[in-house]
Each structure stands twice: as C-alpha cells, then as structure tokens.
Chain A
Amino acid sequence: MDFNLTEERRMLQETLRRYLTDRYTTEVRNGIISSEAGLSAEIWAELAELGVIGALFAESDGGFGGAGFDIATVFGELGRAGVVEPFLDTAVLGGGLVAALGDDGQKALLGDVIAGGLHLALAHGEPASRYDLSRVETSVRGDGDDVVLSGRKAVVINAEAAGYLIVSARESGGFFDLDGISLFLVPAGSKGVTLRGYPMLAGGRAAELVLDEVRLPGTARLGEAGKGFAPLMDAVAAANVALAAETVGAMESAVELTRAYLMTRKQFGRPIGTFQALQHRFADLLIELEQARSAVINAAGHLEAPDRDRQIAAARNLIARAGRLVAEEAIQMHGGIAMTQEYELAHIAKRIVMAEHRFGDADYHLERFIALSAA
C-alpha cells in the first residue's frame, strides 16, 4: 500500500493551497458571497489557468486527471478555503456527463469548460424528489424531429451562470422507474425556460427552473434515449467523492481554527485550551477528522470499483456525522466569536453542514449502505 499522493497531485495540491491562501481570504470570499453573481469570474479564470478544471477530466477528454484521487485532491483544497465557485456543478456534474455521453459536437464544449470559458449546471432534482435520484416527473415528448420538455426543477445550482443546462426528463415509465430517463443539453435562454435565482446560505447561487413546452432539436439529447439513469449515477458518484473531500477539507480548517483559538483565547487568566473539558472534546475532533480522511480515501479509491456505491454511501454517512460534530463543536468551543459572519469559521461551518443537503444526508446514505450491503 502507498498512501502518498503522486508527484503531480502533490504539486497541484501545493499550488492550489498557496494560491487560495493568498488570494481567497475571508474578506474576498465574503465579498463574493454577497455579490450579485455569487461567484468571481476572475478567480474562476485564474483557477482554470492553474489547472483545477483540467485535473477533473481524463486525458481523452482534454484534461490531465479525472480519477477519484484527482477529484479528492482538488476538492480537498477548495474545501479548506471554503471556495464557493461551482466547480462541482460545471466540471464534475455537467462536464462529467458531457464527457461520458456527448457526441463529438457536444464534447467540443469541454475545451471551453476546461479553459474556464463555459459554465454548466445539472438540472435534475425536482420539488418533490428530495434525494431520490430516479424520481423524475419532468416529461419529454417527441414532435417530428424535435423534443418538447415540460416540468419543474429544484435548487439547480449554478443555473444562472450556465451556458447549458443538462436537464433530465422522463421519456417513459412511472415517476420512480430507473428506465426511461433521458438527458438533454438545453442552451441558456431557450424559449420556455424560466429561472428564479437566489443565493444559498453557504454561498453560491441556485435557481428554481420552470420548463414550459421547451422545444429543442432532437440533437440536444445527451446519450441514449431512456438510458440516462446509469450515467447520472456515475456523475453523482464522482460528485459524492468531491463533496466528501470538500467537506473534509473544510473540517480540517475548522479544527485548525479551533486549535489556534483554544491556544490563544484566555479566560480566567489562562488559555481556554488548558481546560480539560475542552481538551478532550478537541481530541475527539482530531479522532473523527482522521476517520473522515480515511473515508475520503475509501470513496476516491473505489470510484471505478464494483463496490463503488457502498463505499461512497459509507463515506458520506461517516462524513455527515463527523462533519456535524466538528462544525457544532468548533463553534461551541469558540464561543460567541464563531457566531459572527466576519469570522472564517462561520462560513466553514456552514459549508460543512449544508453539504449534507446535496445528494443525501446521513440517514439517506445509511439506508443506501444497508441496502447495498444486503444485496
């Protein structure tokens, strides 16, 4: 066994950490969060230049990575710095699906994505679907050479910035059937698409989408008709690795901030870190953090393996539990200061906790783990 990152990944990690430490300060980031766009085009371009997006794609798709540990390396760093820019949405989900399913014309978009010139968004979740990936009510019907989409999509992250939306729609079958789901590349501003955009609590923006008889040429279809579910699962698996790594990166920052604060904040004439009541709890955070790091390694290392889904369910369940503990305990051990928007931990804690609301919370992944273990 060898738990070291390859030389290339280590260099990418160092480059990213240095860049984000210098450039992505609390002040800069809080400015981005409260800006209208909710993301910085400048920082997006700079990070693309550093290879952050390229690292998330295989060589055959114009990148130089794309494996589980590439994703984990990049998102670990993004998580440490609390980056709110939508790399998950544009690259892992959107780009991942185009790379997996696109014909040559569609795949030509990837060059732009990797260079930082094009945003994508996955419009899959619906108002009633919660975390159920197969629940798709949005419908599609053929009309001559065209297809016509109708339905609603919920909390579509990065929808406003996206040049294309990847929309899932049901071609056949009942609401929960795995078969019959198709994917479409819908250009921004298509007639019949309405967006209602809004900011999110942990930064970034999303939108509610209404598709009202959206007419597209049949060539907008991404992949085979009715066979969208399996590739969606693949993209979501990669996104889960990214989310797991991002959360653990944020947990590292939360623990580090707490360590520094416990050593410097004085009450009753001594650093609060000298109180054993806090020392033991701080030690527990370190223990859970190591567990969470291992969970990311398990998930990233199995992204291409047969046991993928069970490993990922395990990782996300563990990290959801450990993450909540770290976020809540880090705030508690800081006292009032951690409750303020200005202090770095506030945002980091929000990233950790709100990650649980994407692609399944602790209970959802626990149930998946049980089901997959029984299978």
Chain B
Amino acid sequence: MDLSYTDEEKAFREEVRAFLAEKLPKAVSDKVRAGISLGKEGHDDWHATLNEKGWLAFNWPREFGGAEWNAVQRHIFEEECALAYAPRIVPFGLSMLGPVLQKFGSKAQQDYFLPRILNGAHWWCQGYSEPGAGSDLASLKTRAVRDGDHYVVNGQKTWTTLGQYANWIFCLVRTDPEAKQQEGISFLLIDMDTPGIEVRPIVLLDGTPEVNEVFFDNVRVPVENLVGEENKGWTYAKYLLTHERTNIAGVGFSQAGLDAVKRIARIESAGGRPLIENPHFAARLARIEIDLMGMATTNMRIISQAAAGQAPGVESSMLKVKGTTIRQEINDLTRRAVGPYAMPFASEMIEGDNDPVGPDYAAPVAVQYFNNRKLSIFGGSNEIQRGIIAKMKMGG
C-alpha cells in the first residue's frame, strides 16, 4: 500500500493548477461559484480554451484528437477543476457521444462529427428519456420508420438537458416494435434544424430553464445518421452509460462544496460565536467530511484498478449512490449555514449580475439544494443503482 501520488502524478497536478491559474478567468470562476448560469457562450469559450491546450477531450484516444489520459490523470484534472470553480465540461458530445462514435460509428461519422464536437460547431443533447420511459428506458416509444434512404421519426423525448443550446441530438428510437424491448432500439443522430422538431422548455422547481421537451413530427433523418447497426442501439446506449458514469463520485465537487460551507460557517455567527464552533453544526460538518474521506479513497481504489485496465462493475453504482448522497448532504448543510438569508429568491442571479440581497454566498444555496435533488434521480436513479448492486452480488 502506498497512499501517495507518484512524482509524475504530482507534477501533472502542478501543471493542471498552473494552467487553471493562467487560463481560467476570475469572472468565470466567480459565476460558477455563485451558481450563475454561463449561457451557451460561456461554455463554448471554456471548451475553446481547453481545446487549444489539447485537454478538452481528455478521455478520447490521441488518434481522434484526445489527450488519452489514464483514470488517475482524469481524476486529478477533474478534482482541480472543481476546486478552482472551473465550468463543467458539457458531457453530451465529449463524454457521451464521442466514445460511442469512436467504438461503433462509421469512419465517415467519426471524420465528420468528432472534430465538430471539439471545435464547438456542434452542441449535442441526449434524447433518451420519454414521458413514459424513465427508469424503464427500454420501454421507449419514439418510432423511426425506414422510408427509402431516410428514417421518419415520430414521438417525444423529455428532460433534455440544455436542449435549448443544442443543434444536434442523439436519440434512442424504436425501429422494430415487434422485437423484444431491448432488441428493437436504434441509435440515431438528428440535426435539430430538421423540419418537424419542436423544443419546449421545462422550468425546474428552482426557476431554471435547464431541461426541455423535444417533439418529433415526421422528422426525416438520413440513414447515414444511424450509428452502427439497426436494432442494436441498446448495446451502444449501455456502452455510453458506462462513460456517463465516469467521475460519478464527484469527489472534487464535494471537496469544493465542503470548503465553501466551512468558509461560510466561519463568517456566519450563531449565538454570538462563529457558526463553525457551534457543536451541532460542527458535528454535521464532521460527519460529512468523514464520509467524504472514506469515499475519496474508495474512489481512488477503483480508479487505480481502472488505470490497471480493470473495468469497473458494481463499484460505479456504489459511487453513484454514495457520491450523490454526500453532495446532497453538503447542499443541505450549506442551506442551513446561511440561516434566514436562504429565503430570498434571487431569480435575477441565475443569469444576471444584480447585487445579492444578503451575503453573496447565500444567494444560490437554496436553489442549489433543490436543483441537486436531480443528482439521485438522473443517470440511473439511486433506487435503480441499488437494484443493480444487489443483483450483481446476489444474481437474479
């Protein structure tokens, strides 16, 4: 056992830090810290900065323009980014679709789409869920019927994150309604400018327009936009999910969140003393920190195995459950920490620059608390993950 990073890994961390110190504008990290939306442009700019350095597609092989980092390097990078309040890399093109195209896409698809993910020409969104198909994704109903050299798509997707910024959507569609559920699904790439597509925003409980419904009315999609084989889409979708679940533990986010709540608790006072000295608050804080220390090591154990070439199995489900629970606990504690100033709703804060009502750190915390309820719902709900864990260990 050796719990320290190697010299190369330490040097790599320094390199990442130096890069962030030089290239991450303070105005941007301030927005991320304050929970203010960056808008499409803000994300595009950060992607461009990373792309210039060759770090945008850090999980892609070099032949496709990626950095081909191993699991430890990815972890270090993601942790440093979270601690520096760098914007998240928007995952849809880079960590979801990219790997699928690299493994299952045609040469023509790889040549056309991958560079456009890197240079920001295409903003992708994920068209999996439907009103009737959430946890039971394989029950999806959106139909694609072959008509000459096109598919004609009809149906509805929902919960499409940032679909309002997207010009392309990758969809799971039903191509064979007769086959067993999982065997009649195909993976289609659809240009959002095609006639017959309508995007309607869904306002979330915190007032943010983060997700959308996407309607398809006789949308004609060229057959060359089918990924891999017809009716094999479920295999590709499952492959994508294994990539969606990288950085699932979100250790860096939790670490940054914990630092933030400590900072707040040193400023806030309760009964005439700093909140951080209040025994009940301190106990809550300590419990979370202890849990996070445990999870960080579990995460590193799994990452080391992955770096040694072992595919994570049930562990990623475990990390999803524990990682999201810890993040939600931190959000809850932060909400408590700010006291009555959690109550104001600074809707203008979400996309604007207005003065906050109370201390600036208080403005986003209630919104973040409610918004992050999503963490245990999407990407395979925590109930579904527990089902997977039990099934893998007990069979059935």
Interface Cβ pair total, 8 Å cutoff: 135
Please, how many angstroms separate the alpha-carbon atoms of A12 and B139 in the complex? 48
- Residues in B with CB closer than 8 Å to A331 are 373, 377
Are A357 and B342 touching (Cβ within 8 A)? yes
What distance in Å separates the Cβ of A361 from its nearest Cβ neighbour in chain B? 6
Contact with A along B129-150 (1 / 0, CB 8 A): 1001011100100000000000
Are A201 and B367 touching (Cβ within 8 A)? yes
- Residues in A with CB closer than 8 Å to B281 are 363
- Residues in A with CB closer than 8 Å to B278 are 363
Are B269 and A128 touching (Cβ within 8 A)? yes
Q: Flag whether A353 is at the interface (Cβ < 8 A).
A: yes
Given A354-B343, A354-B366, A358-B340, 16 other A-B residues pairs in contact with their CB atoms under 8 A: A130-B269, A130-B270, A131-B339, A132-B270, A155-B344, A200-B345, A201-B343, A206-B343, A267-B134, A267-B136, A331-B373, A332-B381, A335-B381, A338-B205, A339-B205, A363-B278
A334 nearest CB neighbor, chain B only: B377
- Residues in B with CB closer than 8 Å to A358 are 340, 343
B340 nearest CB neighbor, chain A only: A155
Q: Flag whether B369 is at the interface (Cβ < 8 A).
A: yes
Q: Flag whether A151 is at the interface (Cβ < 8 A).
A: no
Q: Flag whether B294 is at the interface (Cβ < 8 A).
A: no
Q: Flag whether A229 is at the interface (Cβ < 8 A).
A: no
- Residues in A with CB closer than 8 Å to B53 are none
Q: A: which residues have CB within 8 A of B?
A: 125, 127-128, 130-132, 135, 154-155, 175-176, 196, 198-202, 206, 208, 266-269, 275, 277-278, 324, 328, 331-332, 335-336, 338-342, 346-347, 349-350, 353-354, 356-358, 361, 363-364, 366-367
- Residues in B with CB closer than 8 Å to A363 are 278, 280-281, 284, 336
Q: Flag whether B215 is at the interface (Cβ < 8 A).
A: no
Contact with A along B315-342 (1 / 0, CB 8 A): 0000000000000100010011001111
Are B377 and A130 touching (Cβ within 8 A)? no
- Residues in B with CB closer than 8 Å to A208 are 357
- Residues in B with CB closer than 8 Å to A324 are 332
- Residues in B with CB closer than 8 Å to A198 are 344-346, 357
CB pairs A–B below 8 angstroms (11 shown): A155-B341, A155-B343, A267-B136, A268-B139, A331-B373, A332-B376, A335-B134, A338-B373, A339-B204, A341-B207, A354-B343
Are B204 and A341 touching (Cβ within 8 A)? yes
Q: Top 8 A-B pairs ranked by shortest CB distance?
A: A346-B205, A201-B345, A267-B136, A363-B280, A130-B339, A341-B203, A155-B340, A268-B136
Q: Flag whether B268 is at the interface (Cβ < 8 A).
A: yes
